[in-house]
Amino acid sequence: MSRKLVSFDWAIKRILRSKANFAVLEGFLSELLYDDIRILEVLESESNQDHHVDKFNRLDIKVKNSHQEIILIEIQYSSEMDYLQRILYATSKAVTEHLKQGEAYAKVSKIISVNILYFDFGDGDDYLYHGTTQFIGMNKHTPLRLNAKQRERFQSDQVKKLYPEYYLIKVKNFNDHAKTRLDEWIYFLKNEEIKETFHAKGLKQAKETLNYLKMSDPERLRYQHHQEELHHRASLYESTFVTGKIEGLKEGREEGLEQGLQKGLEQGRQKGQEEGRETGILTTAKNMKSAGIAIEMIQQVTDLSLEQIQSL
């Protein structure tokens, strides 16, 4: 048997920030990082606050664990071409935020970036990716290691342990066959259900803490609205960018065929693609503006100018 549970993004925003519920997050992070994670506190930052523009597309939380590491957990629904650069920026910002003025660089916090992605990201067929920084010799191809004094100071002999680490969980790529305890967590992230046979750390607490049936009527209505908005925004993307691209390709092919020349066909394709992209972008901007999304966010998503957006 399985039971309907509140989605992880909603839980992060509404439930899991409470110290009384840290066991749920600790369980998930322990299974992911292969370590016994203990959360000391939720750290407040600009990205942690409940902005309207981030209410549905992006949700995140920043915590500090007992190893004094900063863990950024982000859940992303909408597609972003520059997502890799954005998580680099987020980790870099966290490094500077937590280094006090005048402190030695040895005090730089270790940052772990955990990204739960619900959109088609990158070209890869796995559902879990791990990224680190290493230095490899260009001649002997051996990794650079810390020396004896550095190992004593940092309690590690691996350079990568000093740098940010990145975990990318591509939820849609998971095939629903839970072979490991971490897979049991990813099954929950994808399906919002926990099977009775699952025993991963934190899932027992999650069953009780995130039980949909225990929500009050007002909470349940807000949650349902949140889920409907996610579906709406996903459909909005499909009906603008994707449809615009298809229509543009069609127009390009028709124009090329009329010319009857290979050159004309190629030009038609290119023009159709460009017009399709422009149409899709303008339609997206118009719909986002109608939905009350801030102009700054519309500019970030579409790369349109302020004047173009205001004229829609």
Residues 235, 210, single domain; the answer is no
Does residue 108 contact residue 99 with C-beta atoms inside 8 Å? yes
Number of folded domains that form the chain: 2
Residues 190-222 have pLDDT tens digits of 999 999 999 999 999 999 888 865 666 677 666
Per-residue pLDDT at 34: 94
Per-residue pLDDT at 246: 54
Per-residue pLDDT at 54: 43
Per-residue pLDDT at 33: 96
The Cα diameter of the chain in Å comes to 74
Q: Along the 312 residues of the chain, how does pLDDT read in single tens digits?
A: 566 788 888 888 888 888 999 999 999 999 999 999 999 999 975 545 544 444 445 678 999 999 999 999 999 887 788 899 999 999 999 999 999 999 999 999 999 999 999 988 889 999 999 999 999 999 999 999 999 999 999 999 999 999 999 999 999 999 999 999 999 999 999 999 999 999 999 999 999 888 865 666 677 666 666 666 665 565 655 555 545 555 555 565 555 555 555 655 466 556 555 665 677 778 777 777 776 777 777 777 777 888 887 887
Residues 169, 223, single domain; the answer is no
Residues 124, 259, single domain; the answer is no
Per-residue pLDDT at 53: 41
Residues 81, 225, single domain; the answer is no
Residues 113, 246, single domain; the answer is no
Residues 263, 159, single domain; the answer is no
Residues 253, 204, single domain; the answer is no
Which residues form the domain of 43? 2-214
Q: What is d(CA 267, CA 167) in angstroms, rounded to the nearest whole number?
A: 42
pTM: 0.71
